[in-house]
């Protein structure tokens, strides 16, 4: 033991109150610090550096700097004693540090070896491997290395531990450098393997995807980029490199045939039996291992038609059996089948009309109506046994007023009561008065004048008129109010639920609803949702009464469905039951590498199973190959959110960073030439939510590769034959036939295949729906019926908003999935893509492709109808041929707008249009006509009346615009105004 103390007299003078350090003793690896009233023990580990000596007035001052404590300062020491004591403390301090370091030598050497190995690693530095190393290195650094002083351990030891300390200080950079070094070396080591694993050498991007081995790796495999080659090479590489045994690798595919093909290819190339399975197959195996046997599979599990028919049967049985449920079902079909949007939710007539047409507002009686509120009224009348006519001609002839013949909204056939529904709401003014207002795009004054005119007509002719208003629905009393108004005139006779349901079946409304229920049911089960979840989400999304009405039907349907399963299971049960067994450890997974094909099609339930398998062992890797641009099976439960947020869902953790993953973009396509590949890429990326990928095309086009062919009504077969004839002609003299794939958005579009194959034997012609064509390719692709409309392309039978209740993320971009369907269609083609579209009603996709120079589309074949806008609603004016063979232009919104114009009298084909602020409507043929002063679309032509000649609007009698002027020769024309 060695000690140092103050000299007594000097200590008394220096510290008369006795609060300072009086004695410091060195005992083994501790310092004992004595003050007048206390003794403290300080470990040499806390000493930051050797004691420092400074000459003071009353003696030597000895200062010992401590870690996280007040310095120990002894004043008034004897100079010689202070120097000797300081040297002893320094020697003890160095000995202590080296001894502590020596105790951790094995641990240090292990960590140091692992850190140094990052300079030339033999394995990919995945987060799951590096995280334990970082944790151990940080523990050693915190407990020892950070406390060691350079002066205590010497420069050699400082240099030795420096790599560990550097790794701890910046682990992300160290890992990144290690990965880069490994990838470079590994690509070189396995160069011959990559050259020979497939019939053609792998591309640089494919090679990179094989050697990258992050916790979660996402390979973006665009159309025709060779994703199967990548998965095959990855599995073979893992086995040949000794990274995994075949039984530790799980290959997952969505379709049985894809799994079988993958298994054969991998075994042939790796020499080991790496078995590919579908998600359902592995789930079934898990259940069998845990339960000892596999439960029977429901008959409808593999048959979508049988599944939909089961839902239809359940609906029918519930209507006949349970009165409360039957009431809920009838209420749904009568009042909530379509999304209840009104005029006030749209800025323009065109938007409103387009929405209404997409909804197919068909009443229980069978007619199409013009608004959701009219639909409610019509169905209430039908439910209550009140016979009615929709928009009948008024029973009294109205004198010529320039209006169309008066057609009230409804006439009750027994009582003769008329019902007019007025689209007005009440708005409270600042002064407290109420004012009737119309939708944003409706002329309020004109509409209110029309209301007064109708009231006047009924008053003059002494017919009974019942009025209903939009504000009544807004206030929740439209139908109760109607019942009160009709009570004096009508006796209600409600129809039995069975009768109404039979009518619904006749209208084929049950088919689509059964599909909606089926899709909802599968997503409900696979996502693990509850009815409470759906109700809560409905409230947060403000889906309102329609969602409540749907859930009132779904709940008993779901309960009955589960009951009818009995002891059998469906695919949703299969996946979820297996996931639970894996999550709870009842099944122990042997898999360390999980390779997933077609990852864009993954659902929530499949993702849950995947996460459970990954979580069982810390070193499990997920290798996912897919293309979010080809995610087109949302109706079957696929959830694009899982791929777009791949890292968050499946990634690892390292250095406080979550969602660690790696993305590799294959980029290169072996299928489509540049014009097709680039146009398809531009098209799909109009949706900013799609993951951006580069594209390297298979080759360069020497002539236009994409054509749009316009088709007049009834010309479909002729136009298709013309396109096939053109393809066949170019093949003359060639020995090898070329493939032609006909694609349709719907199965019913399949043409006469036997006749086409007979007429064009030199072509290998086939037909597929676009969804069924995924994974296929052909030399030439012809897309059929790219028209607008409910069953056009893009399909206007959009996903019902109710599906958002069982979907984690909604896509905000309009026609998001349909745009991806179009991308799939375009990228089936190697050399040419031909799109057949209606001349009068081309789809919005065709219009976009044709009008945007970015796509580089060749000019359309055949005469193309020029686009004219309707001045009344903003829709399109479409050319139609009248009974007399002449051309007329009619608004696309026939039911709602009714705008009709004759073609130019001079050329008989084009339509005169107003040019800027001029007073004339000019035609492309050069003819000009004076603008109508009353309407925005019409122009004036010569007419004869009681008072001689005048200029009248071509839209007469819909428009009464006219001018009494002398007519300059050659500037007017007589026309027949009857189409």
Q: Show binding-site residues.
A: 221-228
Q: How far is CA 870 from the centre of its chain?
A: 34
Nearest alpha-carbon partner for 756 in 767, 746, 748: 767
**Using DSSP, how many helices (H) and how many strands (E) does the chain show?**
31, 37
Q: Residue 594 has which token pair? A: 């999980």
CA distance 287 to 300: 20
* Three-state DSSP string of 347-358: CCHHHHHHHHHH
Q: Which helix (H) or strand (E) holds 947?
A: none
CA distance 101 to 107: 10
- Three-class DSSP category at 82: helix
* CA geometry: angle 606, 612, 615, nearest 5 deg: 140
Cα distances from 590 to residues 246, 579, 619, 651, 769, in angstroms, run: 10, 15, 12, 20, 39
Cα distances from 95 to residues 90, 116, 151, 638, 802, in angstroms, run: 9, 27, 12, 65, 74
CA distance 23 to 168: 40
Beta bridge partners of 6: 77
Burial class (CB in 10 A: 0-12, 13-18, 19+), 882: middle
Other beta carbons less than 10 A from residue 510's beta carbon: 20
* Three-state DSSP string of 609-677: HHHHHHHCCCCCEEEEEECHHHCCCHHHCECCHHHHCHHHHHCEEECCEEEECEEEECCECCCCCHHHH
Q: Which residues are annotated as a binding site for ATP?
A: 221-228
Burial class (CB in 10 A: 0-12, 13-18, 19+), 898: middle
- Beta strand pairing call for 662-665 and 657-660: unpaired
Q: Residue 770 has which token pair? A: 């676009």
Evaluated on CA atoms 571, 575, 580, 581, the torsion sign reads: positive
CA distance 766 to 746: 15
47: DSSP letter: B
């Amino acid at each position: 033991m060695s000690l140092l103390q103050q000299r007594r007299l000097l200590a008394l003078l220096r510290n008369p109150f006795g609060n300072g350090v009086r004695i410091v003793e060195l005992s083994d690896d501790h310092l004992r610090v004595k003050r007048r009233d206390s003794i403290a023990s300080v470990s040499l580990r806390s000493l930051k550096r050797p004691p420092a000596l400074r000459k003071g007035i009353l003696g030597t001052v000895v200062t010992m700097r401590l870690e996280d404590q007040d310095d120990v300062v002894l004043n008034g020491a004897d100079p010689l004693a202070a120097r000797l004591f300081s040297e002893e403390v320094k020697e003890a301090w160095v000995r202590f540090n080296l001894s502590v370091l020596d105790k951790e030598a094995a641990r240090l050497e292990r960590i140091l070896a692992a850190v140094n190995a990052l300079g030339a690693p033999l394995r990919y530095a995945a987060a799951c491997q590096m995280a334990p190393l970082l944790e151990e290195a940080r523990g050693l650094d915190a407990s020892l290395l950070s406390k060691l002083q350079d002066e205590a351990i010497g420069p050699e030891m400082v240099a030795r531990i420096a790599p560990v300390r550097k790794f701890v200080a910046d682990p992300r950079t160290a890992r990144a450098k290690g990965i880069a070094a490994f990838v470079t070396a590994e690509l070189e080591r396995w160069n011959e393997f990559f050259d020979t694993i497939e019939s053609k050498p792998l591309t640089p991007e494919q090679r990179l995807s094989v050697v990258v081995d992050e916790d979660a790796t996402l390979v973006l495999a665009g159309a025709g980029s060779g994703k199967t080659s990548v998965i095959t090479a990855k599995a073979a590489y893992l086995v040949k490199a000794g990274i995994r045994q075949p039984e530790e690798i799980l290959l997952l595919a969505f379709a049985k045939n894809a799994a079988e093909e993958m298994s054969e290819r991998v075994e042939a190339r790796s020499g080991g039996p790496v078995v590919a399975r579908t998600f359902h197959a592995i789930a079934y195996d898990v259940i069998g291992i845990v339960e000892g046997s596999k439960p029977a599979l429901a008959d409808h599990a593999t048959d979508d038609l049988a599944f939909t028919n089961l839902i239809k049967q359940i609906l029918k049985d519930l209507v006949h059996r349970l009165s409360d449920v039957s009431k809920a079902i009838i209420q749904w079909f009568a009042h909530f089948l379509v999304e209840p949007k009104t005029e006030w939710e749209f800025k323009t007539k065109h938007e409103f009309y387009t929405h209404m047409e997409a909804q197919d507002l068909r009443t229980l009686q069978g007619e199409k109506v013009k608004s959701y509120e009219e639909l409610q009224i019509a169905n209430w009348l039908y439910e209550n046994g009140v016979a009615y006519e929709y928009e009948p001609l008024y029973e009294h002839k109205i004198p010529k007023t320039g209006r169309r013949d008066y057609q009230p909204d409804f006439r009750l056939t027994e009582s003769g009561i008329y019902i007019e529904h007025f689209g007005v709401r009440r708005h409270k003014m600042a002064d407290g008065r109420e004012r009737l207002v119309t939708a944003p795009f409706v002329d309020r004054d004109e509409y209110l004048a029309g209301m007064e005119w109708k009231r006047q007509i009924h008053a003059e002719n002494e017919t009974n008129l019942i009025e209903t208003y939009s504000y009544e629905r807004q206030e929740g009393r439209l139908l109760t109010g109607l019942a009160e108004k009709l009570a004096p005139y009508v006796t209600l006779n409600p129809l039995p639920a069975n009768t109404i349901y039979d009518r619904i079946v006749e209208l084929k409304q049950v088919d689509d609803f059964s599909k909606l229920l089926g899709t909802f049911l599968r997503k409900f089960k696979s996502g693990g949702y509850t009815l409470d979840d759906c109700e809560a989400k409905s409230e947060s999304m403000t889906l309102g009464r329609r969602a409540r009405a749907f859930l009132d039907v779904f709940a008993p349907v779901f309960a009955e469905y589960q009951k009818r399963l009995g002891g059998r299971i469906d695919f949703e049960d299969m996946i979820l039951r297996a996931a639970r067994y894996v999550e709870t450890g009842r099944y122990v997974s042997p898999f360390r590498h999980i390779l997933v094909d077609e990852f864009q099609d993954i659902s929530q339930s499949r993702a849950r199973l995947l996460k459970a398998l990954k979580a069982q062992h810390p070193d499990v890797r997920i290798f996912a190959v897919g293309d979010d641009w080809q995610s087109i099976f949302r109706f079957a439960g696929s959830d694009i959110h899982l791929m777009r947020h791949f890292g968050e869902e499946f990634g690892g953790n390292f250095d406080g960073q979550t969602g660690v993953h790696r993305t590799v973009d294959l980029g290169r396509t072996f299928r489509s030439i540049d014009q097709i590949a680039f146009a398809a890429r531009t098209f799909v990326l109009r949706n900013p939510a799609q993951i951006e990928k580069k594209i390297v095309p298979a080759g360069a086009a020497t002539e236009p590769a994409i054509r749009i062919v316009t088709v007049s009504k009834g010309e479909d077969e002729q136009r298709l034959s013309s396109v096939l004839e053109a393809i066949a002609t170019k093949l003359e003299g060639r020995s090898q036939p070329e493939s032609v794939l006909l694609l349709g958005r719907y199965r019913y579009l399949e043409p006469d295949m036997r006749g086409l194959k007979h007429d064009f034997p030199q072509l290998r012609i086939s037909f597929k729906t676009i969804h069924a064509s995924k994974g296929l390719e052909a030399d030439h692709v012809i897309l059929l019926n790219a028209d607008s409309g409910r069953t056009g392309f893009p399909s206007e039978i959009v996903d019902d908003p109710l599906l958002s209740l069982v979907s984690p993320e909604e896509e905000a971009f309009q026609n998001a999935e349909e745009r991806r369907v179009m991308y799939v269609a375009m990228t089936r083609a190697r050399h040419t893509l031909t799109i057949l579209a209606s001349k009068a009603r081309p789809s919005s996709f065709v219009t976009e492709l044709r009008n945007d120079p970015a796509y580089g589309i060749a000019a359309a074949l055949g005469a193309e109808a020029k686009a004219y806008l309707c001045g009344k609603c903003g829709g399109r004016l479409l050319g139609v041929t009248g009974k007399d063979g002449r051309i007329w232009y009619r608004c696309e919104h026939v039911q709602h707008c009714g705008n009709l114009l004759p073609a130019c009298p001079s050329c008989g084909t084009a339509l005169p249009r107003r040019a800027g602020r001029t007073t004339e409507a000019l035609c492309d043929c050069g003819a000009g006509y004076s603008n109508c002063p009353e309407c925005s679309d019409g122009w004036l032509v010569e007419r004869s009346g009681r008072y001689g000649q005048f200029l009248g609007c071509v839209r007469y009698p819909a428009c009464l615009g006219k001018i009494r002027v002398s007519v300059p020769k050659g500037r007017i024309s007589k026309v027949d105004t009857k189409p």
